[in-house]
Amino acid sequence: MQNEIHLQSRIRLQDYEPIVGRSCLEELRMLTEKSSGKVVQIINSTFIGGGVAEILEHMVPLLNQLGVDVRWNVINGSDEFFEVTKKFHNALHGKHEKISPRDFALFSEVTERNLEEMSFYGDIVFVHDPQPVGLIAKKKEIGKKWVWRCHIDVSSPDRKVWRFLRGFIVDYDAAVFSAPNFAQQLPIRQFLITPSIDPLSDKNKELDSGTIDTVLAKYGLVSDKPMITQISRFDRLKDPLGVIEAFEMVRKSIDCQLVLAGGTATDDPESEEVLEEVRKRVEENPDIHVLLVPPESDIEINALQRAATIIIQKSLKEGFGLTISEALWKAKPVVASAVGGIPLQVKNKFTGLLCYTVEGAAYALKQLLSNPEYANWLGQNGKEHVKQNFLITGHLKDYLLMFLSLDQTSDVIYL
Amino acid sequence: MVDWLTTSWLWLTRNWLYIAVPLVIFLATYVVGLWVRRIVYRAFNRWMVGKWEGGQLIIHTTRTPFIYWFLILGAFIAIQVSKLNSSAKIFADKILASLFVFSLTWVVVSLSTQILKLYIGKVPRLQPSETLIVNAVRIAIAVVGALILLDVWGAPTTPIILLLAAAILIAALAFRDVLANFFSGFQLAQGEQIKVGDFIKLESGESGYVTDVTWRNTQVRALDGNLILVPNSRLVQSTVINYGRPLKKATRPFRFYTRLYLKELTGLKASNLVELVNMLKEVPDSVIYYHTHHFLEEYHYLTPEPANDFALWVSDELGDEVIGEKLASIDTFDFPTISALRARIEGVIRDYLSKKPDGRTAREGREFHFIKSVSFIMPTPYVAHDLREFIEVLRQVSINSLAYHIFEARLRLKKGVSDFAIWIEECLDDKDLAEKLAYLDPYNYTLEGLRSTMIQVIEKRIK
């Protein structure tokens, strides 16, 4: 079938056993036995690029290894269509976007075309994000179970766009959100399933000190003083200028350095502008390093996170913010804004420190730099927290449970 | 024709002694043989009565060949006294020697087979290897017989012996593991270090009762019901803890279950204490259970663990430390049902609101979101028949399994106490131990801490 991808992973399910334990994998296998025989058809808008594709790329082969028949398809769409859905995406995030009736009409046209062209064979049709949401129209014809997975922060969406999408969403059997505050008043079941990181991926696997030193040398960094690092693309919502401000407050009393590392997005013309602003702002401060990291530099990102003394994520708005889980997995103390899905990962004073302002961020950074034992305790807790809640194996378990729950209504289900 | 008969008759009348003497000797030897057999076997039979059951086997197997051997002896003596030339005599001797070696080999093979079967039948651990042992002995005897035969006919046996030695060496190398297991099995049997019925723990962490010890491997019934075959050589070389004989068996085995949960969003949220308490009244039990228990699993590594979600939210988001402390100090262990727990939480908040009705409101995005825990309960392969197995399974099961048997069974499934305490009291009739476990407040421990505390309590008991 066109637009279907067959993935094979170099990572085997049993490779996770030393990390998550034998019992975790045993439970996954038991769950799979209970849900065997069903075909799960995943539909989204792209095989490559973006967080959703990255997660699916790891998850689908693992689900297949478990014995679940999961297949992955993507919809077809023109550039114009994806421009519209990008506007939808921003509007759902709460950003003001001008969306015309023509845009809505285009969305419906492309949806109609995909409805005609696509083959729907899954016992469970698992649709990700707003782009393919309209495919639910097929449910009237073929039945089956339909689930909509929302990866976006819809806690304060543009009402017009949400109303439009809601018309489709209510026909699904269930919706899945990444954080409790993304939940909406909907007549269908809503599940909370958080995204996850893969501990064996290049971005998160263990690195030797040689690799870390090589990356530091490449970017002209030295590890002779504490390093505060924010890994994010250059976007105003990640508040890089706020991070610099907080760092400057800390630097007055503690000798340390700041690393702002990230990329620019080709679909976001503003990112180049932000990068320039940041570079201009720090040009006279030798303790601040602005690094433009090319895409596909997972090992470099990994090395920069592992070299950091503290990881900061001072976003003004965030979806789930998986960079937090990545940092916590490396047992790094984290200072992060209490936005989006971050509070799920950082339980204040237990697995990191939350902040709301520049001053709050500076205070938290100073606390951690001055109390390395406390920082280490938070980092270790953070690692355990990620192990328990945000690893890909837990994500697999949640999806398997969600598939099973579609046929059940009780709160206590005996399998 | 007449001429030939005449010539033969003349030769016989002249040389009749050359034929008659060997013939008489041959027949006499046969008669002596019959007589000797009668005396010897009667004496042997009388002597063996009640002493050794193998005696009858010897009699049955050798009785007929015994006479053959006397016939061969008679023929040998007869040939020696005959007037045959020396080369004919040598040839005849070789034939007789071959017949003797052949019959002797056959008798030894037959006898050793029967005796081996007799003894293997009495030793259960050898029974699976009976065919192997019997065939090995048969082949060894046949090879020795063949070598003697070759020697009789003057064939060079040294190269054959060397060839055989090389083959044995190669076979020994190729089957060194089998041999190592064989000798280790012998060592285990001799030392009586591991016996059927013992509970052992292997270096790899697996444990279970020994169900059989053969010459090749030791069979252990693992806690998940699987049969582990441990090569004897490995068992002898590694560290194995032998806990000895089984403990008192439960009237009903304990099947460990596990419980995984899915978080379902209710879409309900509260911004202040009034909204919180009003919604608390309406939400299903699974919501109360989630917000009072999920920390125990999601933050199970923390000491002390955070209290319930309600306490944390009012402290962190509403900034009201007093009511936060009151909610945090509600001891979940005091409540046998979720309804009772819910009533207590509601009561604490209402009481507080009656004195301080103007509470704060959470910032946008920091509201309290009501989440429901949907539990999926499934049996694991782990079963315990006694306290020893119970402890070992307890070490292995996931924290989800612990949470199910301790928290979920007690409160959500309304059993009042943990499944463990119920089983120990009902199926092992150990009220004292059951009470000790029932009195452990699980909310005061991390799940791992609780696991090791329970193991310590039970271990102390079985010592």
Residue A138, pLDDT > 70, answer yes
Beta carbons within 10 angstroms of residue B263's beta carbon: 19
What pLDDT, on a 0 to 100 scale, did the predictor assign at position B340?
93
- Interface contact flag, A347 B306, Cβ < 8 Å: yes
Residues B228 and B242: beta-carbon distance below 8 Å? no
Residue A2, pLDDT > 70, answer no
CA nearest to B58, candidates B43, B77, B76:
B43
What pLDDT, on a 0 to 100 scale, did the predictor assign at position A15?
95
Which residues in chain A have their CB less than 8 angstroms from residue B266's CB?
183, 190
Lowest-confidence region among A306-320, B155-169, B243-257, B335-349? B155-169
> Is residue B299 within 8 angstroms of chain A, CB to CB?
yes
Output A16 or B129, whichever has higher pLDDT. Answer: A16
- Interface contact flag, A388 B301, Cβ < 8 Å: yes
- Interface contact flag, A411 B372, Cβ < 8 Å: yes
At residue B428 the predicted structure's pLDDT band, cuts being 50, 70 and 90, is very high
Distance from the Cα of B368 to chain A's closest Cα (Å) equals 9
- Interface contact flag, A401 B261, Cβ < 8 Å: yes
Distance from the Cα of A402 to chain B's closest Cα (Å) equals 7
Which residues in chain A have their CB less than 8 angstroms from residue B294's CB?
none
What pLDDT, on a 0 to 100 scale, did the predictor assign at position B304?
64
**How far is it, in rounded angstroms, from Cα B299 to Cα A350?**
9
Residue A127, pLDDT > 90, answer yes
Q: What is the 3-state secondary structure (H, E, C) of chain B?
A: CHHHHHHHHHHHHHHHHHHHHHHHHHHHHHHHHHHHHHHHHHHHHHHHCCCCCHHHHHHHHHHHHHHHHHHHHHHHHHHHHCCCCHHHHHHHHHHHHHHHHHHHHHHHHHHHHHHHHHHHCCCHHHHHHHHHHHHHHHHHHHHHHHHHHHHHCCCCCHHHHHHHHHHHHHHHHHCHHHHHHHHHHHHHHHHCCCCCCCEEECCCCCEEEEEEECCCEEEEEECCCCEEEEEHHHHHHCCCEEEECCCCCCCCCEEEEEEEEEEEEEEEEECCHHHHHHHHHHCCHHHHHHHHHHHHHHCCCCCCCCCCHHHHHHHHCCCCHHHHHHHHCCCHHHCCCHHHHHHHHHHHHHHHHHHCCCCCCCCCCCCEEEEEEEEEEEEEEEEECCHHHHHHHHHHCCHHHHHHHHHHHHHHCCCCCCHHHHHHHHHCCCHHHHHHHHHCCHHHCCHHHHHHHHHHHHHHHHC
- Interface contact flag, A24 B302, Cβ < 8 Å: no
Residue A47, pLDDT > 70, answer yes
What pLDDT, on a 0 to 100 scale, did the predictor assign at position B305?
66
Percent of chain A topping pLDDT 90: 76
Residue B128, pLDDT > 70, answer no
At residue B32 the predicted structure's pLDDT band, cuts being 50, 70 and 90, is very high
Which ipTM did the prediction report? Answer: 0.90
Residue A1, pLDDT > 70, answer no
Output A155 or A278, whichever has higher pLDDT. Answer: A278
What pLDDT, on a 0 to 100 scale, did the predictor assign at position B156?
80
At residue A405 the predicted structure's pLDDT band, cuts being 50, 70 and 90, is very high
- Interface contact flag, B377 A27, Cβ < 8 Å: no
Across the range A246-262, mean pLDDT stands at: 96
What pLDDT, on a 0 to 100 scale, did the predictor assign at position B269?
93
Distance from the Cα of B246 to chain A's closest Cα (Å) equals 26
Across the range A56-75, mean pLDDT stands at: 93
User: Average pLDDT of chain A?
Assistant: 92
The kind and range of the H/E element at A69 are strand A69-74
Q: What is the DSSP letter of A178?
A: S
Residue B246, pLDDT > 90, answer no
Residues A79 and A12: beta-carbon distance below 8 Å? no
Across the range B239-266, mean pLDDT stands at: 91
What pLDDT, on a 0 to 100 scale, did the predictor assign at position A96?
85
- Rg, Å, chain B Cα set: 43
**How far is it, in rounded angstroms, from Cα A281 to Cα A258?**
13
Q: Tell me the two tokens of residue B298.
A: 């999601």
Sheet-wide strand order for B217-222: B227-231, B217-222, B207-213, B199-201, B241-244
What pLDDT, on a 0 to 100 scale, did the predictor assign at position B189?
63
Beta carbons within 10 angstroms of residue A315's beta carbon: 24
Residue A237, pLDDT > 60, answer yes
Collect all residues from A whose CB is shorter than 8 A from any CB in B: 21-24, 26-27, 30-31, 34, 155-156, 177, 180-181, 183-186, 189-193, 338-339, 347-348, 350, 381, 384-385, 388-389, 397-398, 401-402, 404-405, 411-415
Output B169 or A60, whichever has higher pLDDT. Answer: A60
First to last CA, chain B: 104
> Is residue B267 within 8 angstroms of chain A, CB to CB?
yes
Residues A176 and A150: beta-carbon distance below 8 Å? yes
Output B192 or A148, whichever has higher pLDDT. Answer: A148
Q: Tens digits of per-residue pLDDT, B47-85?
A: 877 777 778 888 888 989 999 999 999 999 988 888 888
**How far is it, in rounded angstroms, from Cα B379 to Cα A33?**
12
Residue A267, pLDDT > 60, answer no
Across the range A199-214, mean pLDDT stands at: 95
Beta carbons within 10 angstroms of residue B340's beta carbon: 11
Residue A232, pLDDT > 80, answer yes
The dihedral sign for the CA sequence B44, B47, B49, B55: negative
Across the range B325-347, mean pLDDT stands at: 92
Output B151 or B350, whichever has higher pLDDT. Answer: B350
Q: Tens digits of per-residue pLDDT, B339-350?
A: 999 999 999 999
At residue B190 the predicted structure's pLDDT band, cuts being 50, 70 and 90, is low
What pLDDT, on a 0 to 100 scale, did the predictor assign at position B300?
72
What pLDDT, on a 0 to 100 scale, did the predictor assign at position A46?
85
Across the range A239-262, mean pLDDT stands at: 96
**How far is it, in rounded angstroms, from Cα A125 to Cα A133?**
11
Distance from the Cα of A214 to chain B's closest Cα (Å) equals 35
First to last CA, chain A: 34
Across the range A313-340, mean pLDDT stands at: 93
Residues A300 and A215: beta-carbon distance below 8 Å? yes
**How far is it, in rounded angstroms, from Cα A197 to Cα A71?**
21
Which residues in chain A have their CB less than 8 angstroms from residue B403's CB?
none
Q: Tens digits of per-residue pLDDT, B99-126?
A: 999 999 999 999 999 888 887 777 666 6
Output A336 or B304, whichever has higher pLDDT. Answer: A336
Residues B76 and B93: beta-carbon distance below 8 Å? yes
> What burial letters (b/e) apply to A209-237, b meaning 16+ CB within 10 Å?
eeebeebbeebebeeeebbbbbbbbbbeb
Residue A241, pLDDT > 90, answer yes
- Interface contact flag, A411 B316, Cβ < 8 Å: no
Residue B203, pLDDT > 60, answer yes
Determine the 3-state secondary structure of A102 from DSSP.
helix
**How far is it, in rounded angstroms, from Cα A405 to Cα A401?**
6
What pLDDT, on a 0 to 100 scale, did the predictor assign at position B19?
82
What pLDDT, on a 0 to 100 scale, did the predictor assign at position A27?
94
What pLDDT, on a 0 to 100 scale, did the predictor assign at position B192?
67
Give A8: exposed, middle or buried? Use CB within 10 Å, 0-12, 13-18, 19+: exposed
Determine the 3-state secondary structure of A334 from DSSP.
strand
What pLDDT, on a 0 to 100 scale, did the predictor assign at position A356?
92
Q: Tell me the two tokens of residue A108.
A: 């419906």
At residue A324 the predicted structure's pLDDT band, cuts being 50, 70 and 90, is very high
What pLDDT, on a 0 to 100 scale, did the predictor assign at position B129?
67
What pLDDT, on a 0 to 100 scale, did the predictor assign at position A357?
95
Output A324 or B2, whichever has higher pLDDT. Answer: A324
Which residues in chain B have their CB less than 8 angstroms from residue A414's CB?
377-378
User: Average pLDDT of chain B?
Assistant: 87
Which residues in chain B have their CB less than 8 angstroms from residue A191's CB?
262-265
Distance from the Cα of B328 to chain A's closest Cα (Å) equals 16
Q: How many CB pairs below 8 Å do chains A and B form together?
A: 111
Residue B338, pLDDT > 60, answer yes
Question: Across the interface, which of A181, A388, A413 has its CB nearest the CB of B300?
Answer: A388
Residue A335, pLDDT > 60, answer yes
Residues B264 and B374: beta-carbon distance below 8 Å? yes
Between vectors from CA B226 to CA B224 and to CA B228, what angle results, nearest 5°?
A: 120
Which residues in chain B have their CB less than 8 angstroms from residue A412's CB?
286, 374-375, 377, 412-413
Q: Which of residues 124-183 of B touch A (CB under 8 A)?
A: none
What are the φ and ψ backbone dihedral angles of B195, each rounded to 5 degrees? -125, 160
**How far is it, in rounded angstroms, from Cα A341 to Cα A334?**
14
At residue A372 the predicted structure's pLDDT band, cuts being 50, 70 and 90, is very high
CA nearest to A191, candidates B376, B280, B362, B318:
B376
What pLDDT, on a 0 to 100 scale, did the predictor assign at position B125?
62
